[in-house]
A and B are shown apart, each in its own frame.
Chain A
């Protein structure tokens, strides 16, 4: 009940603001203009294409729109979550939340979901734009589904990391800066490190290679590339404990684990006196062990 009340309030506050409407308009305009530019450049409007080539153009357009969407999600998710907790403290409304029955879980879940609802609405608003791709063909339903999962997991990781920053860092500007730095690192760490360290010269059996592959497994660009590409040139598959995983599945699993860890960390620190709050539990466990 407390969670629903918080979520309702957050959605009322966010969706009532005029800037949210402008955000959707700008978001769709950016994607639409870039997609139109791509089609213009591919001379689609002059006609004369055969079915096979059109499907290739469709696949390329889908890949382009997906990468734009990924970058926009990375840009927008922290904006809605990086000041969720310290913003309440700055507005001097946090004490009033602490005086209520709102648990740490409800508080964080409400803030996270409300922040991500904005991102999900943007993804939903872009569906008509994505549907244009189906006129050209070349994209399978499984690709659409895996892309959607990557978008959602990316939004969750960026959202929970930003939420964690807003819990641990006192100043909203600082938490926003840290959240964006993380997103930039997350996106570009693998390409940069693989370029600097591997360059194709390090043997597959090297320890470095394994670490960079793990970094690759959690890289949204690699995961999206594996989801939107088809045929030769796709990212290699991964073996985790002898289980064969395609990159987008590996990405989804690692992201899920990271999201849970970040959320638990935020839960531990969102209310004051984190150690003191655990003392009754520790005392209880101590008594139990004494009795046994």
Chain B
């Protein structure tokens, strides 16, 4: 488990992190959410021992980061948001180089490199120069680099930025595979829906301070982003609203500002509740043409936008 205790980070007059306290469970895919300048990269760089905190402590199990950075570096694989590659090296040479500087012997290195190229699906690009690889392939190669010394913890800073939809899906699958291998993955991203679907836990950071952390569903619910349904009717929208208000599980009913035939409602409950709501509408001859439940995680973006509105570094 990673335990972050009252961490502050200041760059001259800029407060990048302020009194940040957070726990990252072992084996979790932990998402860091926040606007630009919120302090996500600073936090990841502290966890990667690239910069020390101004004050506060970060523990990896029972090892404190500033006391034993060498020990932490063995446990951590870091992938920065912007990274360069040595364009004149082939994929294999690139990974062999990082294996070498991680202290892996030349005898073991070819096997590890082959396994990692297979894991990130780049075996066919083994002899290709790194500069000829697409952005998505370079991203996967960099992930293989971060895994070269078999770290327990992966720190991924905006790993999906700049990737096309297909590459994103492949990358997400890769992360799931890694979670299955028992790695703890800390990931920062702006693509919230993907993050919500992928992460078991999230933390929302704003202006260097923690807004909320915990299980994805819990965080979204507690920030007022409960489950929602969007109902489109052909006519009788007013009757439908009255009917919905009478159902006990429906908390709030409101009309879409752009379309009077669209009704949105927040509700507590599960699929049984949804079934009952739809049956009720149909039983009262309301001409429903679409009935779209939205889970809390799907509403994460709206919640995020509302809580990070106007946020910037102090």
Residues of A within 8 A of B (CB): 1-2, 4-6, 8-9, 12-13, 16-17, 91-93, 95-102, 272-273, 276, 280
Contacts and interface: CB of A to CB of B under 8 A. Distances in A.
Given A8-B97, A9-B93, 11 more contacts: A1-B100, A1-B105, A2-B100, A5-B96, A9-B89, A13-B86, A13-B88, A93-B85, A95-B45, A276-B52, A276-B66
A6 B101 contact: yes
Interface of B: 45, 48-52, 66-67, 70, 73-74, 76-78, 80, 82-86, 88-89, 93, 96-103, 105-106, 145
B52 A95 contact: no
Contact of A97 (B82, B101, B106): B101
Contact of B88 (A4, A17, A98): A17
A164 to B, nearest CB: 22
Nearest to B72: A99
Given A1-B103, A99-B48, A12 B98 contact: no
A91 B88 CA distance: 13
Contacts of B101: 2, 5-6, 97, 100-102
A273 B51 contact: yes
Contacts of A9: 86, 89, 93, 97, 100
B100 A93 contact: no
Nearest to B79: A96
Given A13-B88, A99-B50, A280-B67, A5 B97 contact: yes
Given A12-B89, A272-B50, A99 B73 contact: yes
A98 B50 contact: yes
B68 to A, nearest CB: 9
Contacts of A92: 80, 82-84
Given A9-B93, A101-B73, A95 B88 contact: no
B86 to A, nearest CB: 6
Contacts, number: 78
Nearest to A15: B88
Residue from B50, B67, B80 having most chain A Cβ neighbours under 10 A: B50
Contact of A96 (B89, B106, B145): B145
A100 B98 contact: yes
Contacts of B66: 276
Residue from A1, A8, A93 having most chain B Cβ neighbours under 10 A: A1
A12 B86 CA distance: 10
B40 to A, nearest CB: 15
A4 B100 contact: yes
A12 B102 CA distance: 19
Given A99-B48, A99-B76, A101-B103, A16 B98 contact: no
Interface of A is mostly: helix
A110 to B, nearest CB: 9
Contacts of A99: 48-50, 73, 76-78
A43 to B, nearest CB: 48
15 contacts: A1-B105, A5-B100, A5-B101, A8-B97, A12-B93, A13-B86, A93-B85, A95-B83, A99-B73, A100-B73, A100-B101, A101-B70, A101-B73, A101-B74, A280-B67
B100 A8 contact: yes
A273 B52 contact: yes
A99 B103 CA distance: 12
A99 B76 CA distance: 8
Contacts of A91: 84
Contacts of A98: 50
Contacts of B106: 1
A276 B74 CA distance: 20
B98 A96 contact: yes
A13 B50 CA distance: 26
B136 to A, nearest CB: 18
B107 to A, nearest CB: 11
Contacts of B45: 95
Nearest to B103: A101
Given A13-B89, A280-B67, A96 B100 contact: no
B105 A16 contact: no
A75 B96 CA distance: 33
A55 to B, nearest CB: 47
A96 to B, nearest CB: 7
Residue from B45, B66, B100 having most chain A Cβ neighbours under 10 A: B100
Residue from A100, A276, A280 having most chain B Cβ neighbours under 10 A: A100
A276 B49 CA distance: 12
Contacts of A1: 100, 103, 105-106
A4 B102 CA distance: 12
A125 to B, nearest CB: 22
Nearest to A277: B69
